[in-house]
Structure 1
Amino acid sequence: MFIQNLQYKLHKLNTAQIITLSFAGVIFVGGLILWLPLCTAPGQTTSFSDAMFTATTCVCVTGLVTVVTATHWSLIGKLVILLLIQIGGIGLIALASVIFIYLNKKISMKNRRMIQESYNLEQMSGLVKVVRKVVLCVFAAEGIGAISYGIYFIPRVGLVKGAGQAVFTAVSAFCNAGIDLLGDNSLADYVTNPLLNFTTISLIIASGLGFTVWWDLGKRFKLIFQKKLSFGRFYRTLHLQSKIVLVTTGILLVGGTFLIFLFEYDNPASIGKLTLGQKLMASLFQAVTTRTAGFFTVDQAAFTNGTAMLCLFLMLIGGSPMGTAGGIKTTTLAVLVLSIITNLRGKKDVEVCGRKIRSSYVRSALVVAGMAVSVLFVSLLAFFAVMPDAPFIDVLYELTSAVGTVGLSRGLTSVLNTPAKWIVIFTMYIGRIGPLTLGAAVVSRAQKKSEKVHLAEENIMIG
């Protein structure tokens, strides 16, 4: 009777609620496994809060860690961490769908609707093909990344250890997790290494653009190769989603790189002692990794206040939809900026590239941005209640990184007390499942009620 009631209640859940509960379930199970002594290296002990923190940062592909991954966990623990990162990167719904596909199990209409909504697709047709393409893209990109990393690591630390580091780093980079087996210094020892820098940059950008953009680009390049499309019409034939993502991403990366280079040029604590080319490479890496990757080649606490503020903005924005990146997404930023410009011009419709943005998308952008800022504000208040003496900029950096599932820290993560760890855990969780998904899960019943009563309008003052 209990099982039947449970199945009935689960069947009544909507997609947002299933995604929310599924991620929580995987985090809890993963945390329990990591809590087992066999996952901890000899001479180390793992508290329950550290186990749950690590499981959360893996599934939420954040990268904040309270213990050093390379030395604290056993081989089994590292394999569990790698599996949790992969689950978080591919997405729980897609992963479950893949298992059903390869077991020749039929995917129900409800599960198809879950896939559609979890990937924010316009239509339900061809969903199985979409899931297959997602998984193939993920493994192909990670494989290429592993080979590139292996070229450097294997000759230096041996075949087995080098291959392990290469695979782990490639999966972590493409999934935007920012967790590595290199120690507690991330990629700081390789700040002048072009191969490791540009491999990581490429994986982060590729995953951050989103799968739909890559498929759109691939389709256009194929037409050009077949001489059915000219280079002059390449950009114009792209879907609006791709145009917005590419332009916004380009502006953020170029602008972020230039400003970081400008702010840090003479700062000896960050990039001041590097050559001109190395400064540009380090600046580009920082602009890219703030897009929810979590790796770093320069100590985050060494940056000037200007760079820190810029990084806060980039971390909150994150990557693009239907990718492995977090944040409020580039499309959300673009829609908000376009909406502001539209209102300043006194126009009614939000327009871009000869197309009109639906009003529902504008409202969704406002909800996503508003809830992200609200979660950040509430987390800040809660954090200072349990660690009142923590430096404000470090706390703001930590929690913005958690909300955007970035994983960058100014050194605060390792000194968090237990209540603060749980606040960061909650913040990472909310940041991963998305403010809009959580909001939809909470108010789903209210949304089902149709508004039959239209109230009279009354003016208020704004501004």
Structure 2
Amino acid sequence: MITRRLYYKRSLINPAQLFIISFLVMILCGTFLLMLPESTHNGISFIDAFFMSTSSVCVTGLGVVDVSAYFTHFGQTVIMLLIQAGGLGILTFASYFAYFFKGGATYENQLALSDISSSGKIGEVFTTLRRILIITFLIEFIGACFIYINLDKTFIPGFGDRVYFAVFHAISSFCNAGFSTMPKGMMDGELIFNYPLQLTMVLIFVFGGLGFPIMINILRYVKYFIKRYVLWFVSGENNYRAWVMTLSSKINLITTLVLIVVGTSAFFIMEYSNSLAAHNGSGKIVTALFSATTPRSAGLNTIDFSSLHMSTIILIILLMWIGASPASTGGGIKTSTFAIATLNFISLAKGKSKIELFRREVADISVRRAFATMTLSFVAIGTGICFLSHFENDASLLEIAFECVSAYCTVGLTLGITPELSDPGKIVLIALMFTGRVTMLSILIAFFKKVRPMSYQYPTDEIMIN
């Protein structure tokens, strides 16, 4: 009798550790490239290069120097490539290309990729990654074309400069990075009143903030919809399939839509006679839409956020904290986390012991992860506020809190204190940007040894909460 044995090469590090190390390596490589003489006009210090590289790879958008004035065309291109690499995820790039250059992938790496890319089967992993790259470059290409079309030739006369502007801002928007090649970003000159351009960029960073699994699920649903409701006229076949659109996609899409509508309406009402006073008619609505959507990790702004009302700044902080959808280029605690927490509150208020939605029950592990993510975000942001308050005595608590939330949630919006930070203050924000990008939960998973599940259960006991 012949016995077959399956062997596979075990990795010395787990996927979470590989994910963290990949980002660290990319940040250090980016720091080295930004310190090259060809990258800047007058040189840059290590801490500033390290900060800009971290902000680029973590697709944050906070800057201690002016990208347009400080960096050469080569340096700006380095930042653009770092944004692209960080937006897609270093592990996605490395694993995808390693599969082709080495002729395959280990069983354990495929399992890791399956978890990251949300594929149900190991065989679908590399198909999913291929789709990720195709969707990313396709949206960025289409976005760049529309940005170019909506640019005023008198604002940027050169053809090559307009093309570069379009490509850079398409990548920055889709990856929710918040960097711009203009001295004042989207507040520069005629860009403030270029509403078609703003709408284009809103669509780009909303798509980037949806997440690759959701976009793939939407494409699958569109394909099913065409077969179900269009082609049945020809074939006459009943192509009905249940749950083409997953529960996760439904929750994230509904939450995203609600946040956009509520955020835009609240911003429009609170800032109608303040920051929106310079705009008229539909321009107020577009500016309110742009300003309410960008805090959810995009980081580009067409108004001065330091001039906002206090109530509006609190709203912006909340939107930054919630962020984009999971497995996307955006940051924050994610829309699914916020939705599950809200649904849990409602379920408890109704006296229910489980969360039910669309005739489905949300798994307990999802609820536990959601509240762990929220708690860890409070710990990280609170720690950052404490340290930054210690090093930056001249800044107000609101400015420090805004900056820390923006850094941890990889948004890139600022009330103006980032360029004035001391070196210790910059290190605090660097730590927050990195932690927010790789997530606190991934860091804990990387350092804690996974416990093997045991087939026993202790008696349960209820703890008094209130």
**Shift in alpha-carbon separation, 1:460–1:349, aligned structure 2, 3 A:** closer
Q: 1:154·1:163 contact (CA, 8 Å) conserved in 2?
A: no
Q: Which amino acid aligns with 2:161?
A: K
- Does residue 462 of structure 1 match 2:460? no
The 1:114–1:389 alpha-carbon spacing in structure 2 relative to 1, beyond 3 Å, is same
Aligned partners of 1:65, 1:453: CA distance in 2, in Å?
52
- For residues 10-51 of structure 1, give each alpha carbon's deviation from its aligned partner in whole angstroms, at most 9, with x where no partner exists: 93211111111111121112112212222112xx23111100
TM-score by length of 2: 0.91
For 2:231 and 2:335, the matched residues in 1 are separated by 28
8 Å Cα contact 1:188/1:296 also seen in 2: no
Matches within 5 A, 1:71-86: 71-86=69-84
Distance 1:122 1:220, change over 3 A: closer
In 2, the alpha carbon distance for the partners of 1:188 and 1:281 equals 17
- In the TM superposition, residue 100 of structure 1 has moved relative to its aligned partner by 2.5
The equivalent residue for 1:94 is 92
C-alpha distance in structure 1 between counterparts of 2:205 and 2:241, whole Å: 24
CA distance in 2 between partners of 1:100 and 1:178 (Å): 30
- Give yes or no for contact 2:143–2:170 (8 Å, CA) kept in 1: yes
Structure 2 residue corresponding to 1:448, chosen from 426, 444, 451: 451
Equivalences for residues 82-161 of structure 1 within 5 A: 82-103=80-101, 105-153=103-151, 155=153, 156-161=156-161
Partner secondary structure for residue 193 of structure 2: coil
CA distance in 2, matches of 1:304, 1:234: 49
> CA, structure 1 residues 174+397, in 2 after alignment: closer, same or farther (shift >3 Å)?
same
Report the counterpart of residue 220 of structure 1 in structure 2. Answer: 221
Is the 1:290–1:314 contact (alpha carbons within 8 Å) kept by the matching residues of 2? yes
What is residue 183 of structure 2 aligned with on the other side? 183
Secondary structure of the residue aligned to 1:39 is coil
RMSD: 2.3
Selected match of 1:261 from 252, 261, 268:
268
Is 2:287 the counterpart of 1:282?
Answer: yes
- Relative to structure 1, the CA distance from residue 229 to residue 352 in structure 2 (aligned partners, 3 Å threshold; closer, same or farther) is farther
Matches for 1:28-427 after TM superposition, within 5 Å: 28-41=28-41, 44-103=42-101, 105-153=103-151, 155=153, 156-187=156-187, 189=189, 190-228=191-229, 237-267=244-274, 270-427=275-432
Instruction: Structure 1 unaligned segments of length 5 or more: list them.
Output: 1-8
Letter of the 1:257 partner, please give it: T
Cα distance between partner residues in 2 of 1:458 and 1:411: 50
Deviations 1:48-104 (A, max 9, x none): 110000000010000001111111112221121111111101111111133234536
Distance 1:124 1:326 in 2: 27
- CA drift at 1:139: 0.4
Secondary structure in 2 matching 1:125: helix
Q: Which amino acid in 2 is paired with 1:359?
A: D
Cα offset, 1:345, TM superposition: 1.3
Contact 1:245 1:331 in 2 (8 A): yes
- Structure 2: distance between partners of 1:92 and 1:124: 20
CA distance in 2, matches of 1:234, 1:110: 33
CA contact (8 A) 2:220 2:244 kept: no
Q: Distance in 2 between matches of 1:407 and 1:76?
A: 22
Structure 2 unpaired stretches of 5+ = 1-8, 233-239
1: CA distance, partners of 2:259 / 2:368: 23
Q: Distance in 2 between matches of 1:221 and 1:51?
A: 44
Shift in Å, 1:134 = 0.2
Percent identity between the two aligned chains: 31
Assess, with a 3 A threshold, how the Cα gap between structure 1 residues 152 and 276 changes in structure 2: closer, same or farther. closer
In structure 2, give the amino acid aligned to 1:352. Answer: L
Distance in 2 (alpha carbons) for counterparts of 1:112 and 1:237: 25
Contact 2:208 2:330 in 1 (8 A): yes
